[in-house]
Amino acid sequence: MNSENPGQTSAALNDTNGQDTQATDSPERILLVDDNPTNLQVLLQTLSGRGYKLLVAKNGESALNIAHKGKPALVLLDIMMPGIDGYEVCRRLKEDPETSDITVIFLSALDDTRDKVKGLETGAVDFISKPFQAEEVIARVETQLKIHRLEQALSSRNRQLEAENQRILESMSEGIFGFDAEGTIIFANPAACHMTGLSETEAVGAPLTDMLKPQGTANNAVASLMDKMLTTGESGAEDDVLIANRSGDAFDCELACNPIFSGEALNGGVMVFRDITEKKRQQAALDKALEELKVQQEKVTHVSRLSTMGEMAAGFAHEVNQPLTAISNYAQVSQRLMKREPLDTESLIEAMEKISSQARRAGGIISRIRSFVKKPDHCLEKVDCNRLVQDVVRLAEVDARNNGIEIHSELAETLPAVRVDPVQIQQVALNLLRNGMEAMRDAPGKTEGIRISTVTVNDEFVEIAVKDRGHGLAEGAEEKLFTPFYTTKSDGMGIGLSVCMSIIQTHGGKLWADRNPEGGTTFSFTLPIA
C-alpha cells in the first residue's frame, strides 16, 4: 500500500508499507484517514504494536482506493477533509458491495449532535471527538473490531447455511416454488423446473398459477390452495392432481402449500409438488396382485371346503339314506292303505305327514351341504353368531356320531351380531371341530366330548372357542401350527389350519391355540362385532 504521509516514523512507514506490527498469521487491517499529518502520527503511535496492520491515507479519494485494494476491517475516518469529505467517503464505502461490511468510526472536532447523527446515518458505527485520548481510541477500536469479527463469523455461517440449504433444495426430488404475497414466483428449485419443463428464468417473476397448471379439471387445485393459504395463513394439501408440463404432457402429483411468515406478517408461501405417476403405477400393480391373491385364496378356501365334504361324504350319505328309506317305507304303507275298503283316511294322512317330515329332514341335510360347498362371492353379512355355530354343529354331528363323540355347545345368551362371511366362518369352526374330534378318536378324554363356546370379549370382538380332550399339540408345534403344508396327520395336506388363519385374518380377527392343563387343546378365534 502507498503511504500518504512522508513524515511518518520508521515504524509507521513499516506499517504503511505492508509490514505487520506483530508477527501474526492474519493481522486485522485498520485504515487511518486524516488530512492532518500530526493526527495520523498520533494514531499510528497509539495503535502500533497491538497486532494490527495499519494503512494510512490523507484524503478521501486515497482512502477509497486503499479501502478497495486493502479491504481493511475498520476505518478511522476524519470528517473535515479537502475534496471528498468523510461523510461522502463513508457513504460510498457503504454503497459499494465490496466495501459495505467495513466498520467506520468517525474522528472529528465537530461535536454538534446533528453532525454525529449525520455521520451515523451515512453508515458509521461510532464517533470519536477530537482531541482524542489514546485509551478511548484503543477501547473503541477493539470493541468495534470484536463486533466486526462476530458479524463476519455470523455472515460466514449464514453463507454456509444458505449454501447447505441450496444444496438440499437442489437435491430434492420434490418440486418447490416459492411465491410472494401476490402469488408471484420468487424461487424455483431444479426439480420444479425439470417437472414443469420451465427454466428458472422463465419461472421466477411469473404468476404461480400460470407456471403450475392442473390439466382437465374445472377446479384449479393450485389456485385454490394458494388463495386459501394467502387468505387464512393455513397450510393445505391435495393428494392427486393432474399437472400439465410445458410440453402438454401430464403427470400425477401431490400438492402441499405452506405459508411463510416474517414475524406475524404473511410474506408468501411455498408450493411443494411430488410426481406420483410411478407411485400410482406401482399401487395399481400392487392392487392387481392383491386382487389376484384374493381370488387364489378364495379358490384354495373353496377347495378346502370341497375336501372337507369329500371326507364327510360317507357319513352324509348315511344321514340322507335314513330319511329316504323312511320315505320309501311310508310310501309303500300309503299304497296299501289306499287299496283298503273302506279307505282309512286318518292313517293315510298320518303316513303322508311322515313322508313330508322325512323329506324335509333329507332336504335340510342336502341344503346345509350345498350351502357349505358352494362358491359364493366373498361378502360380509350381519350374522347371529350363535345361530351360525348351531348350523356348524348340525354339520359336524355326522362325524360326531361316527366317532362316538358328543358335541357340547356353551353359547352366551346375549351375544352381539358379527359382520362376517358366514360360509367361511362355518368352514373355520367345522374344521376346528373335526380336528378336535380326530385328536380325541382314541384318547382317554373322548367320553367327555368336545365343546364349542361363544363369549363377548369386549366392545369390538366376540370369541368362538373349540375345546377338545385329545392328545394335545406336538412339542414345538405352536410355531408351525398355522404354516401351510405343516401337518402331523399321515394322510393330511396341511392346508386346513393355514386356510382358517387366512380367513380369520381377512375378517380382522385372530386365531390361536392353547394347551389345556387337563389335556387336549383349545382353538380360539375372534370376530368383529357388527
Averaged over 102-124, what is the pLDDT? 87
d(CA 3, CA 179): 52
What are the tens digits of pLDDT across the range 238-284? 988 888 888 888 889 899 999 999 888 899 999 999 988 888 888 88
Task: Return mean pLDDT, the chain.
Answer: 81
* pLDDT, position 530: 86
DSSP string, 316-365: HHHHHHHHHHHHHHHHHHHHHHHHSSS--HHHHHHHHHHHHHHHHHHHHH
pLDDT score of 143? 92
CA angle 459, 462, 464 (to 5 degrees): 165
User: Which grid coordinates are listed for 294?
Assistant: 384374493
| Cα distance between residue 516 and residue 472, in whole Å | 8
Collapsed DSSP state (helix, strand, coil) of residue 229? helix
The one-letter code for the residue type at 522 is: T
Which of the pair, 213 or 455, is modelled with greater confidence? 455
CATH 3.40.50.2300, applies to 10-165 = yes
What pLDDT score was predicted for residue 322?
63
Per-residue model confidence (pLDDT) at position 379: 74
Angstrom distances, CA of residue 167 to CA of 193, 275, 460: 15, 20, 51
Across 57-66, 171-180, 295-304, 350-359, least confident range: 295-304
Cα–Cα nearest to 230, from 263, 183, 177, 188: 183
Task: Over range 461-488, report the average pLDDT.
Answer: 77
pLDDT tens, position by position, 493-523: 445 687 888 888 888 999 999 989 888 999 9
The residues with which 426 forms a beta bridge, in sequence order, are none
With a cut of 50, say whether residue 399 has pLDDT above it. Answer: yes
Is residue 141 pLDDT above 90, yes or no? yes
> Do the bridges between strand 511-515 and strand 521-528 make them parallel or antiparallel, or are there none, so unpaired?
antiparallel
Domain locations in the chain as residue ranges: 10-165, 172-275, 376-530
Beta bridge partners of 260: 268
The fourth-level CATH superfamily of domain 376-530 is Histidine kinase-like ATPase, C-terminal domain (3.30.565.10)
Strands 250-262, 265-275: pairing kind: antiparallel
pLDDT digits (tens, 9 = 90+) for 284-332: 888 888 887 777 766 666 666 666 656 555 555 555 666 677 677 768 7
Place of cell 362316538: 404
Domains 10-165 and 172-275 equal at CATH topology level: no
Q: How confident is the model at residue 7 (pLDDT cuts 50, 70, 90)?
A: very low
What is the tens place of the pLDDT at every residue in 47-82? 999 999 999 999 999 999 999 999 999 999 999 998
Q: Does domain 172-275 have CATH number 3.40.190.10?
A: no
Judge whether residue 231 has pLDDT over 60: yes
Q: What pTM was estimated for this model as a whole? A: 0.41
* pLDDT band with cut points at 50, 70 and 90 for residue 381: confident
